[in-house]
Amino acid sequence: MSRIALARKHRPRQFGELVGQDHVAGTLRSAVEGDRVAHAYLFCGPRGVGKTTAARVLAMALNCPNRRDGEPCGECESCESIWSGQTSMDVVEIDAASNRGVDDARDLRERAMYAPSDDERFKVYIVDEAHMLTREAWNALLKVLEEPPPRVIFAFATTEPHKIQQTAPPVLSRCQRFDFRRVGVSDILSRLETVLDREGVEAEEGALLPLARRAEGGVRDALSLLDQVLSFTSDRVGSEDVRRMLGLVDEERYLELFDLMARGDRSGVFPFVQELVDEGYDLGEFLRGLGDSLRTMLVLRSDPEAESLELLPRSRERFAEMASRFAESDLVRLLVAVSDFEASRRFQRSSHQRVQIEVLLLRLVGMDSAVELEDLLAAVGGDVPEEGRRRPGPGDGGGAPPAGGDGGGPGQGPGGSGRRSGGGEAAAAPTRTGESASPGEGDGEDPAAATESGGSSTTATAPAEGGGDLKSVWRSALSNAEVPGGARMALRGATVAGRSGDTLRLDVPDGLADDLKEFFSDRRRSASLRQELADRIGVSADDLVIGVNRSGDDGRLTAEQVREQKTERIVDMDPRLQEAVEKLDLRLQE
């Protein structure tokens, strides 16, 4: 005795049974009831969402003698033969993937000229995988689509309507198009429960949810997966059976990994992966679940009561508790890192997939957090504008502790037990406590502090009389001065080495030194820049002396210099951040 697959056995027999396609079902039902059926339809959408089924139900409704309110009875001889796909004179299903040529299309056109078997019936041609038809085949069908014989209906089903647009654009204007949607998890879950009820099989709470998720919007795929699970056990569907069949990684494993991330415990990565391998988990399945679990935590971090997540109460509670140990921005960065890793397809192409997974997890566990600007300002006693304050989220304990306080400063999360902050992608990172920069290691520090005049000297980061440090003075003056285009490019390669009285000293790459000496020797060309500098450091433009020192470079900006300049510009644009940098003695990073 042959067994019928669930996807075939429980195929809808009426429009009302189509899952998640109410917009299609309602329109077709009304068209049949009001005798306003079009001569050609194009059903588009992902696989397994009911396109061919809708075409069959339409054919059943048009030819059902017991039709009521546009719905077929689903039980008469006509409905039964059409529903089961048996040979019917008036309903013909064609697979365009294997009948795609012009000769096949001509044969279809000739057969369409014959009238239905009865004056009360309709002849319906269902063409599946319609995008596989060649351009010549579509051209052969255009005439019959434009002027079809009486009581002849065409229903084209396709997963790739854009190919029809490319191959035969005129076809689209001759068909009524319906776009089928991916079916939601809750609708698929409801359908699976209905099918199991009809089959007389019980399901453990939460056991069907992974099946509904794995189907990715396809009801047929969900029923096929359920069929597979029932091959393990025919009397009850258990959560463990589903997990084993799908190869799913237990959520406990992901929570264990997130704990490693929260603690920054890189040493735990290798034993963790070893356990995954020893327990027989598929690493590709683990990677898929990692992205889903991070997304779940991000949603719960934003809204612990989010109804969009299909989670059991116990799972929701555990993931929400773990999410509270991370900043929302950190969860975003972790999810982006996993998404980028999957998009690169390095894992799929690698012959050492375990190593790829270990490298990814080491990056995630060692990923530092970003420092919130308001936390920096709070640390220096600055006022944070009301609109700029970060609202405390779950687990913040009423807000992050001030940097440098008992909570561990910007380098730690709430209570010092959360994700580490500082470094990474922060705009500024603090130097280590008690650490001082040695000569030559600071921003523009020059070991030769004195100049020819023998007077006292200032470094590039020392305050200038006009306010701000010399590096800021130089950038500001260069931005506002009227400088010839060629000279401006060379000036951007210069850095301020220090100042002594009326003398400002610049460090210039070797290849640019001669050009800048010539520029400053020409009082007319350099007048605007001299004036801007003089105004900012509080000296007379006539008395200002600008010395050019060769730095020994080849005149080209390095990648490091470009990054430094970009970061410095960001700091200059925000006075509050600039104040935090100065008061906390922060080191700029990209």
Q: What is the mean pLDDT of residues 541-568?
A: 64
Classified as helix, coil or strand, 524 is coil
In this predicted structure, which of 74-88, 202-216, 247-261, 281-295 has the lowest mean pLDDT? 74-88
Identity at 192, one-letter amino acid code: L
Residue 87 CB burial class (10 angstroms; 0-12, 13-18, ≥19): exposed
498 located within any domain = yes
Same domain? 311 vs 336: yes
Residue 106's contacts (CB-CB under 8 Å, 6 or more residues apart) are: 140
Same domain? 174 vs 239: no
532 located within any domain = yes
The conformation of residue 587, written as its DSSP 8-state character, comes to: E
Predicted confidence at residue 580, as pLDDT, reads 67
Same domain? 15 vs 142: yes
Is 534's pLDDT higher than 90? no
Count CA within 13 A, CB hemisphere, residue 8: 8
111 located within any domain = yes
Same domain? 195 vs 272: no
Tokens found for residue 479: 């931005």
Count CA within 13 A, CB hemisphere, residue 524: 0
Same domain? 302 vs 330: yes
Q: What is the mean pLDDT of residues 33-45?
A: 92
Predicted confidence at residue 78, as pLDDT, reads 87
Predicted confidence at residue 449, as pLDDT, reads 36
Predicted confidence at residue 436, as pLDDT, reads 37
Tokens found for residue 265: 């415990």
41-69: pLDDT as tens digits: 999 999 999 999 999 999 999 999 898 88
Share of the chain above pLDDT 90, in %: 25
In this predicted structure, which of 386-395, 509-518, 522-531 has the lowest mean pLDDT? 386-395
Count CA within 13 A, CB hemisphere, residue 216: 5
Q: Ranked by mean pLDDT, which of 6-20, 549-563, 568-582 comes out on top?
A: 6-20
pLDDT band at 413 (very low <50, low <70, confident <90, very high): very low
Q: What is the mean pLDDT of residues 168-197?
A: 91
Same domain? 521 vs 584: yes
pLDDT band at 565 (very low <50, low <70, confident <90, very high): low
Tokens found for residue 310: 């299909």
Question: What range does the domain containing 225 cover?
Answer: 185-246
The CATH number covering residue 20 comes to: 3.40.50.300
Between the alpha carbon of residue 360 and those of residues 287, 341, 346, 354, the distances in Å are 10, 8, 11, 10
Q: Which residue has the higher pLDDT, 400 or 490?
A: 490
In this predicted structure, which of 173-177, 487-491, 561-565, 575-579 has the lowest mean pLDDT? 561-565
Is 431's pLDDT higher than 80? no
Is 474's pLDDT higher than 70? yes
Same domain? 27 vs 159: yes
Classified as helix, coil or strand, 178 is strand
Residues 422-456, buried b or exposed e (16+ Cβ, 10 A)?
bbbebbbbbeeeeeeeeeeeebbbbeeeebeeeee
439 located within any domain = no
Predicted confidence at residue 182, as pLDDT, reads 92
Q: What is the mean pLDDT of residues 417-441?
A: 39
Is 433's pLDDT higher than 50? no
The CATH number covering residue 204 comes to: 1.10.8.60
Residue 61's contacts (CB-CB under 8 Å, 6 or more residues apart) are: 15, 28, 29, 32, 67, 70, 71, 72
Q: What is the mean pLDDT of residues 138-147?
A: 87
Domain count, the chain: 5
Share of the chain above pLDDT 70, in %: 75
| Pick from 53, 14, 11, 21: nearest CA to 183 | 21
187-215: pLDDT as tens digits: 999 999 999 998 888 888 888 888 888 88
Residue 161's contacts (CB-CB under 8 Å, 6 or more residues apart) are: 42, 44, 131, 172, 177
Looking at 350, 365, 380, which one is the last position of a domain? 365
Is 407's pLDDT higher than 80? no
- Strand positions, DSSP E, 129-180: 152-158, 176-179
The CATH number covering residue 560 comes to: 3.30.300.180
Residue 43, strand partner residues: 157, 178
| Pick from 175, 101, 114, 111: nearest CA to 140 | 101
Q: Which residue has the higher pLDDT, 559 or 224?
A: 224
Looking at 343, 365, 387, which one is the last position of a domain? 365
Q: What is the mean pLDDT of residues 131-141?
A: 89
Is 251's pLDDT higher than 80? yes
Q: Which residue has the higher pLDDT, 424 or 73?
A: 73
Q: What is the mean pLDDT of residues 418-433?
A: 39
476 located within any domain = yes
Residue 508, strand partner residues: 550
In this predicted structure, which of 257-266, 368-377, 399-408, 574-583 has the lowest mean pLDDT? 399-408
Same domain? 11 vs 139: yes
Is 377's pLDDT higher than 80? no
Residue 504 CB burial class (10 angstroms; 0-12, 13-18, ≥19): buried
Predicted confidence at residue 435, as pLDDT, reads 39
Predicted confidence at residue 72, as pLDDT, reads 93
**First and final CA of the chain: distance in angstroms?**
69
Same domain? 26 vs 175: yes
Same domain? 349 vs 404: no
As a whole number, the mean pLDDT across the chain is: 78
Q: Ranked by mean pLDDT, which of 51-65, 86-100, 477-491 comes out on top?
A: 51-65
Note the pTM of the prediction, 2 decimals: 0.59
Is 404's pLDDT higher than 50? no
Count CA within 13 A, CB hemisphere, residue 14: 14
pLDDT band at 563 (very low <50, low <70, confident <90, very high): low
447 located within any domain = no
Tokens found for residue 7: 């996807």
Predicted confidence at residue 62, as pLDDT, reads 92
Q: How far apart are CA 422 and CA 414, in angstroms?
A: 14
Same domain? 242 vs 265: no
Same domain? 22 vs 159: yes
Count, in order, helices (H) and strands (E) of the chain. 26, 13
23 located within any domain = yes
453 located within any domain = no
Q: What is the mean pLDDT of residues 435-461?
A: 41
Tokens found for residue 495: 């850095």
Predicted confidence at residue 411, as pLDDT, reads 40
Place of tokens 């009561």: 305
Q: What is the mean pLDDT of residues 149-158?
A: 91
In this predicted structure, which of 136-150, 341-355, 479-493 has the lowest mean pLDDT? 479-493
Tokens found for residue 370: 């970003």
Residue 543's contacts (CB-CB under 8 Å, 6 or more residues apart) are: 502, 534
3-21: pLDDT as tens digits: 788 888 889 999 999 999 9
Looking at 344, 365, 386, which one is the last position of a domain? 365
Indicate the helix (H) or strand (E) that contains 531: helix 527-537
Q: Do 445 and 499 contact (CB within 8 A), yes or no?
A: no
